[in-house]
Structure 1
Amino acid sequence: MKASIRRSAVFTSAAALVIALCGTTGTARSAVPAEPGDGELQFGYVLSETGQLAYLGPPMIESVKFAMKTINDAGGVLGEPLPTVVSGDEAGQEAVAVQSADRVLASGVDALIGAAASGMSLAFIDRVTGAGVVQCSGSNTAPTFTDYEDDGFYFRTVPSDSLQGPVLAKAIRGDGHNRVALIARADDYGRGLLESTRNALEDGGATVTLAETYDPKSTNFDQIVQQVENSRPDAAVVISFEEGTQILQAMIESGLGPDRIGVYGTDGLRSEELPRLVAPNQPGRLDGMKGTAPASETNEKYVKDLKKFAPQLKELQFAPQVFDCVTTIALAAEKAESDDPGDFVEEINGITKGGDKCTTFAACKELLADGKDIDYDGVSGPLDFTDTGEPGQATIEVYGYNAKGELQTLRTETSTAQE
């Protein structure tokens, strides 16, 4: 961990002091920015309320609020309840994400949760960490963040795609495919997962017939699908977000659907709604499609409790990882006996490994009160942060779609970072 820097409570205009606080969890407070070390741990988020990842917004946002409620039910942090979370929308647009981050920072938050997309986080990470505010994402998987110059203030509870790629490659090879085409979004997420998967496939003896990126803002993907067809693969991997619906439609129309070749996706395509978006009247057209994603539904108690808290939720992707962001930060503040991010940032890595194991905020808080070191194992699994503030191992789900268009968890596998 690099030496921390303390944020400055300087604001350039009175407008920066007027912040709309959204959400129903926590204690209401005025819009006057908090000072670091004021006794209250203030959370904010920049997540997908709108935009191409809007389907991931509800599980992440509700999980933030659920974690805060769980913490407050256990007595809060440093004897004080968590105030209402300050909200911001990344909207799938870098300019909007930056504006939202600036607004959330202007409210005086101690920690910011988000963004959902790696590209959106990269658009404002320097603003957050440069202000000495802790940032934690439950869904940024781009390998870029591992060595990013963040002064030690950026963390993620989701594994790097360097851990997901080998599991995806293993699934493809295990299904007997030898010639594999890879197409991916031309951003840090897409390029990182493409390279990780490509390396693992080639190390396993497969031939990568195509490894190409595309402009995710394109409105026509016929050219990239034609490239896949021309490469004559027996399997194809689509690393995408919302635009993957159009790509899969074009692949099916070109005779490259799951009934003809192996078709695989990643976390950006994992959705219960995908079959009906691709083929509204024939969801079974994706029968046999598989993919990988950081595991989201392996903790049955957490899933049950979250759905009770937010019964309207359909998707749960990345919700456990976001819950762990909030809980880890809160425990670090308890360990540091300070809500100043310049203090508690130094405790975040350590509380995820090497101490007495605990799995809830209440249990971990009790151990800390007794002067013990803790090893918080989150609802997403053991975190065991490396020195760069990310999981050293990951539980990766292999998912699939059946003839009814139903999303199923086929199995989970553990992937560990190479030393």
Structure 2
Amino acid sequence: MAGRLVNALGATVATAEAFSDTATLRHMLRFEAALAHVVARAGLIPRKVAPIIAAACDPALYDPASLAAAARRTATLTVPVVKALTAEVARRDPEAAGYVHWGATSQDVIDTAMVLQLGEALPPLVKEIDGIVAAFAALARKYRATPMLGRTLLQPATPLALGQKIAGWASDLDRAKRRLAASFAETQVLQFGGASGSLSALGDKAGPVMAELAKELKLAPPPAPWFTQRVRVAAVAQDCALVCGALGKAARDISLMMQIEVGEASEPSGPGRGSSSTMPHKRNPVGATLALAAANRAPHLAATIVSGMVQEHERALGGWQSEWPTLAALVETLGSSVQALAEVASGLRIDTDALQANLDATDGAVLAERATFLLAKKMGKQKAAALVEKALAKGGPFVEALGDLEAELSDEKALLGQSPEFVDRLLADLRRR
């Protein structure tokens, strides 16, 4: 596993902690403790052994390094964890050791621990995304009718309101977040099926035990074990990648607007932020860099999980085993992007003088489309287009070349078209969510 230094640009402390060795053991052992209590209450094991097993479910009692090494020899982390837990219980009470992991299988522990880790990691990120959306929405309102140069294929296009660009970031990010929130909710379900999914070891107590175990872990009880039905996991993975993509879109625009020759926006400043190791004059787009790095990584991580969906029979070989480390890396990647853009969105600075200067630098050529349609009302579109092309060919200020249209072409409200209204509609849609 990559160390903290290698992964410094790929994860935040909070998301990394959710998948740390301590957290992993905590959630696996939480499953084992809950299972002991539930099967004891069901009369399947002696009641007196449950608290003994639960007391041994302290992650501090176990060595992650030795467990990881042993897991390589069994192709599952559960086997060495249960073995170590059993030994710890035996040290306390030899009789109780015989009731550890009663009726469960390795994948029950792994999948449920993974679900619990998602429950720890994702809700704070969803809340932070709401903050980014709100910050972008506030900027969109502020710049609802501020003209800027539109750009298509990286070249000057017709003007639009800056607010429309920013409201677009907010809208798509909110859409991706809602998808993630919905798919995350579907993951919060217990995995419990025993050896092959029938829970036959528990006899007629299987149904009640499953329901009670889910309740104990604050998860939903599944209709049936979902060992090789992995749509829940694949969906949340895809939606994590979509959020990274939506954040990356905003980051790409911001980084382009920050180029010195464009100068329309800048990320928040601070000691050391955006500095270069060799060029003191530089102020690099730090937040945008981290978000774009995440947007590059996330789709491929999600694809690994989707490709692992084709699993054999009742318990699979290699498919679900590829999910846990990949999903951890994906959520850590998402956390890095969210944290980076949260700082950018709340402190993004706009230079309206630069916005106007970049518009002016075209000498009005970006008004050509509007001029064509104004003239077309009098002479038809073909003649109008020919006249506009002739005016452009003359060079110099385009408005002057067209003479009589100067007043109409200088109408800023008409220049922006429906752009301010689109801002209103996008923001209204956000408020309805």
TM-score > 0.5 by shorter chain: no
How does the TM-score come out when normalised to structure 1? 0.25
TM-score by length of 2: 0.24
Which has a greater percent of helix? 2
- Find the structure with the greater CA-based Rg: 2
Structure with more strand by fraction: 1
